Amino acid sequence: MHVVKIHPRGYCYGVVDAITMAKRVAQDPNIPRPIYVLGQIVHNQHTVLELESYGIRTLDGSSRLELLDEVPEGSTVIFTAHGISPAVKSRAQERHLTFFDATCPDVTKTHTLIQEKIRQGYSIIYIGTKGHPEPEGAMGEAPDGRAFLVTTIADVDNVPFEATTPLAIVTQTTLSQWDTQSIIETILVKYPHAEVHNEICLATQLRQEAAVQIAKDVEMVVVVGDRRSNNSNRLVEVVEQIAHKPSIRVESVGDLREEWFDGVETVGVTAGSSTPSRITREVIKRLETFAQN
Ligand code: SF4
């Protein structure tokens, strides 16, 4: 079995910057303790554990606004690469918390776009993943009733806006570009006048395109990524749906099963933009061992 390492893969600049910011905050003795991250800094358990070793505590579970209430007075909070709604920032200011914002510039760009469109009188149809923090933050830029979340084509039926409402379609940064296109087309049948703003970031696009391209030359593709990583799950989807090749996601080398590769001669390996290189290297090394059997 031959292992093809797909490029680009793994950490994007937004993730690297967020982790660097968190470590710098933890190393500054003048910053109030304890230090919390509001949600996982990036969706990868290995990275969360690494930050714990710096004394950074991760609060995880409910909405960002609810999580903020768990941060004690006088402590420090870091906002993650996924972005936060203005309500979270205001609450942190009201409570006089020290805070640092690690929102990726590509996510900030989407927030700015939504602010502008709301100011111009538009309502927003936001295509994104239910329960993911990025839609929560971005849609928080719109007043109540002016933004609606669409995750699947079936959701389009439930979009409540009148046919004459000025509308902007805005996407989450880490979606599958192919899935998103079919959802946009369905929305445009219902609202032909809607403006389309595809906000899928370059890092996501390049990883998907490389995975689909290489998948054509291999028998299957292994994606290294956390189960909660939206872009890792989308990589599996695009390999299966666009390149029509089997794909599996593993979180680490411990998930690999040799029997999955029975009869497979060539496998491609990629990783989501929140996956540390060390974890992917371990997976590649183990797969190469299989290749020698
Ligand atoms: S995947 Fe894209 S939006 Fe998300 S952190 Fe990376 S560059 Fe930023």
Helix (H) or strand (E) holding 109: helix 105-119
Section 188-192 average pLDDT: 98
Residue with tokens 């009869």: 263
DSSP-assigned letters across all residues of 260-282:
GGTT--EEEEEE-TTS-HHHHHH
* Locus of tokens 């899935």: 179
Average pLDDT of span 278-290: 96
Answer whether the bond into residue 166 is a cis peptide, omega within 30°. no
Residue % of the chain over a pLDDT of 70 = 99
Give 61's pLDDT tier (boundaries 50, 70, 90): confident
Structure tokens at 213: 């391209």
* Cβ atoms 264, 215 nearer than 8 A: no
Report residue 62's pLDDT band, with 50, 70 and 90 as the boundaries.
confident
Rounded Cα distance, 44 and 47, in Å:
5
Q: Please say whether the beta carbons of 254 and 72 come within 8 A.
A: no
| pLDDT at 292 (0 to 100) | 55
pLDDT band at 291 (very low <50, low <70, confident <90, very high): low
Q: How far is the CA of 12 from the centre of ligand 1 (A)?
A: 6
Residue 174, classed as helix, strand or coil, is coil
Smallest CA-to-CA distance from 141 within 121, 111, 183 is with 111
User: In angstroms, what is the span from residue 15 Cα to ligand 1's centroid?
Assistant: 7
Task: Confirm if 230 and 43 have CB atoms less than 8 A apart.
Answer: yes
Angle between helices 230-241 and 177-190 (to 10 degrees): 90
φ/ψ bin of 131: left (φ > 0), alpha (ψ from -120 to 50), beta (otherwise)? left
Long-range contact set of residues 153-158: C-beta below 8 Å, sequence gap at least 24: 153/182, 153/183, 153/186, 156/183, 156/186, 156/187, 156/190
The pTM for the full model equals 0.95
For the Cβ of 231 lying below 6 angstroms from any atom of ligand 1, the answer is: yes
Give per-residue pLDDT as tens, 234-273: 999 999 999 999 999 999 999 999 999 999 999 999 999 9
ω into 105 cis (within 30 of 0): no
Residue whose CB lies within 8 A of the most ligand 1 atoms, among 9, 11, 15, for a mutation test: 15
Q: Is the torsion defined by CA of 7, 12, 16, 22 positive or negative?
A: negative
pLDDT mean over 184-193? 98
- Determine phi and psi for 101, rounding to 5 degrees: -110, 110
Q: Is 150 in the pocket of ligand 1 (CB under 6 A)?
A: no
Which pLDDT does position 51 carry in this prediction? 96
259 is catalytic: no
Q: Is the pLDDT of residue 71 over 60?
A: yes
Q: 174 CA to middle of ligand 1, Å?
A: 7
Domains for the chain: give ranges and CATH numbers: 2-11+202-292 (3.40.1010.20), 13-104 (3.40.50.11270), 106-197 (3.40.1010.20)
The mean of the pLDDT values for the chain is 96
